[in-house]
Amino acid sequence: MPILSIDNLNKNYGRVQALKGVTFSVPKGSVFGILGPNGSGKTTMLGIIMDILKPNGGTYTLFDQAPDENMRRRIGTFLETPNFYHYLSAQKNLEIAAALKERGADDIPRVLELVNLTQRKDSRFSTFSLGMKQRLAIASCLLGDPEVLILDEPTNGLDPVGIAEIRQLIKQLHQQGKTIIMASHLLDEVEKVCTHVAILKKGLLVANGAVNEILASEDIVEIGAADMPHLKAVINGMNGYNSLKEQDKMLQLFYPVGKTDVEAINKFCFSNGIVLTHLQLKKKSLEAKFFELTN
Binding site for ligand ADP (CB under 6 A): 13, 16, 18, 36, 38-44
- List 25, 30, 40, 43, residue binding Mg ion (CB under 5 A): 43
Contact 56, 11 (CB under 8 A): yes
- Closest residue by Cα to residue 277 from 255, 244, 249: 249
Q: How far is the CB of 109 from Mg ion (least distance, A)?
A: 32
Q: How far is the CB of 185 from Mg ion (least distance, A)?
A: 8
Cβ-closest residue to Mg ion?
43
By a kind-dependent CB cut-off of 5 to 8 A, residue 39 interacts, out of Mg ion, ligand ADP, none, with ligand ADP
By a kind-dependent CB cut-off of 5 to 8 A, residue 40 interacts, out of ligand ADP, Mg ion, none, with ligand ADP
By a kind-dependent CB cut-off of 5 to 8 A, residue 148 interacts, out of Mg ion, ligand ADP, none, with none
CB of 43 or CB of 179, closer to ligand ADP? 43
Q: Is the dihedral of CA 173, 175, 180, 184 positive or negative?
A: positive
CB of 90 or CB of 199, closer to Mg ion? 199
CB of 38 or CB of 247, closer to ligand ADP? 38
By a kind-dependent CB cut-off of 5 to 8 A, residue 41 interacts, out of ligand ADP, Mg ion, none, with ligand ADP
Q: How far is the CB of 2 from ligand ADP (least distance, A)?
A: 22
Q: How far apart are CA 277 and CA 138, in angstroms?
A: 58
Neighbours of 233 (CB within 10 A): 12
CB of 36 or CB of 146, closer to ligand ADP? 36
Q: How far apart are CA 10 and CA 17, in angstroms?
A: 8
By a kind-dependent CB cut-off of 5 to 8 A, residue 16 interacts, out of ligand ADP, Mg ion, none, with ligand ADP
**Residues making contact with Mg ion (CB under 5 A):** 42-43
